[in-house]
Amino acid sequence: MCLAALLVAFSVVGIIGGAVRSHDQSIEAASQKASALADQMDAVWDYIETHQGVVAETDEAATSANGYVCIISAKSVAARFSDMSESTIRYTSLQPRNTDDAPDDFERAAMELFEQDPTVVAYENVDNSTGTDQYRYLRPIRIEQSCLTCHGSPKGELDWLGYTKEGYAVGDLVGAISISEPMDTYYQASWREVGDWLALLLVGLAIATIVMFSVVDVVVLRPVSALSEAMHAFTNGETAHRVDEPRGNDEVAQLGRDFNGMADELEDLYSGLEQRVEQRTAELEGLNATLSDMLTNQQQNLELAVERLREEREAMARRSLEPLNLGEFVFDQAKYTVTKRGESISLTPKEFSILYTLACRAGEVVTQRELVEAAWGEDYTEQMAGLAVYVRRIRKKIEDNPAEPQFLLTVWGEGYTFKTGD
């Protein structure tokens, strides 16, 4: 199953890769064809431009040469090319003399780019604005010296063909050649190529699968099946069963040899098993008696140790409940009370816990965390920010002058300490 899934995955990846590569090749082929058509139309334009000068600029000449000017001749050739192929070739301009030459959105975006960046020599992409994929290619047409006769200065003057001059200068963008090709033909060719490649791939996979399964059957499946039968027979008590002597140095052959060796060793073990069991049973009985004596002694020692620990704990508990005398203060943990110079000080339980913790370690620096854990517990260490509030309350109750404490002192950056004043 895993192998089949791997082959299917490999095929899917191959199909996707082939489709992507074929699509890229279609785009590249369409681009090359459009560029070639644009080169041909540029050649036509150059030819007309070169021979246009033989016509004199007179009314009679203009009439006779009306069809022999650059744009008219080029548009005529473009129309002939368009009729003879699936490609559509036209000339467009942002300021067209003929409304039929007005640009669509794709052409307008291209010419705006040509105007912004004169180094751009072509604008191309797949366009789906008509509902079908079309490869669009535009190449800019810029004013040359020979173009100034019809399109140069002065702006507004009529040229020799009767059109109004635009006032362009050499290098200005006058328009673009626009080529459009349907992508269906390229897609069909690409899919045929993908189909051929897929057929070849499937044939190769089929052959590889057959060969692989044949090899696996001979090298793995049959030896493993024989080994499985031998193990099944061995578990049913047929300890004399062995697999045929494996040939080769692969893992399956080594496994067969290991099985035969294991079977030989187990058969030797079974032959004297009862005697060894009786001998081992006697040894275990002796060990069990020794262990029983040891456990009895250990239990007695443990009971004595537990009794001593209990007595010590009770003694410690009694000592911990005895009043703590520190200078002018007396702390009674059993009653949660504090007296100073014989006068009782009223403290809340948390205030008492904080002060008593400091008193038990009088003279030592106790960290904020230790005080919070003593008053609130280990799960409330976020209360450290509020500890200072409790310290101020305690000082108001135990200090003669809380503004200048003598007993509960702050150790900056570390915590607090309790001084007895002795």
Lowest mean pLDDT among 7-16, 157-166, 284-293, 412-421: 7-16
In a domain, 177, yes or no: yes
Supply the pLDDT for residue 19: 72
Report residue 315's pLDDT band, with 50, 70 and 90 as the boundaries.
low
244 and 348 part of one domain: no
307 and 244 part of one domain: no
In a domain, 384, yes or no: yes
352 and 403 part of one domain: yes
Supply the pLDDT for residue 270: 66
Mean pLDDT for the chain overall: 80
Domain final position from 270, 291, 308: 270
Supply the pLDDT for residue 421: 65
38 and 125 part of one domain: yes
Lowest mean pLDDT among 56-60, 72-76, 345-349, 393-397: 56-60
pLDDT: which is higher, 247 or 1? 247
Structure tokens at 218: 């001979």
Supply the pLDDT for residue 257: 76
Instruction: Render pLDDT for 117-169 as a digit per residue (tens, 0 to 9).
Output: 999 989 999 999 888 999 999 999 998 877 777 787 787 788 777 777 777 88
Domain final position from 262, 288, 316: 316
Q: What is the mean pLDDT of residues 48-62?
A: 54
Q: Is the pLDDT of residue 298 over 50?
A: yes
CATH number for the domain harbouring residue 132: 3.30.450
140 and 217 part of one domain: no
Instruction: Render pLDDT for 168-226 as a digit per residue (tens, 0 to 9).
Output: 888 888 889 999 999 888 888 878 877 787 788 778 778 877 877 777 676 667 777 87
Q: Is the pLDDT of residue 402 over 90?
A: yes
Q: Is the pLDDT of residue 383 over 70?
A: no
Supply the pLDDT for residue 58: 47
Q: Is the pLDDT of residue 90 over 80?
A: yes
Report residue 346's pLDDT band, with 50, 70 and 90 as the boundaries.
very high
Q: What is the mean pLDDT of residues 93-116?
A: 88
Residue that is written with structure tokens 């050499």 in the block: 170
Cis peptide before 223, with omega less than 30 degrees from 0?
no
Report residue 252's pLDDT band, with 50, 70 and 90 as the boundaries.
confident
- Percent of the chain scored above 90 by pLDDT? 26
In a domain, 187, yes or no: no
Measured between alpha carbons, how far is 232 from 226 in angstroms, rounded to an integer? Answer: 10
Supply the pLDDT for residue 56: 42
172 and 71 part of one domain: yes
342 and 414 part of one domain: yes
pLDDT: which is higher, 270 or 31? 31
73 and 121 part of one domain: yes
Sequence-separated (6 or more) residues with CB below 8 Å from residue 15: 194, 198
Q: How many CA atoms lie within 13 A of 264 on its CB side?
A: 7
pLDDT: which is higher, 200 or 11? 200
pLDDT: which is higher, 92 or 80? 92
Supply the pLDDT for residue 404: 94
Supply the pLDDT for residue 386: 83
30 and 150 part of one domain: yes
**What residues form DSSP beta bridges with 114?**
none
Q: Is the pLDDT of residue 380 over 60?
A: yes
Report residue 318's pLDDT band, with 50, 70 and 90 as the boundaries.
low
Q: Could you give the number of structural domains in the chain?
A: 4
Range of the domain at 372: 324-418
pTM: 0.42
217 and 163 part of one domain: no
Measured between alpha carbons, how far is 231 from 382 in angstroms, rounded to an integer? Answer: 64
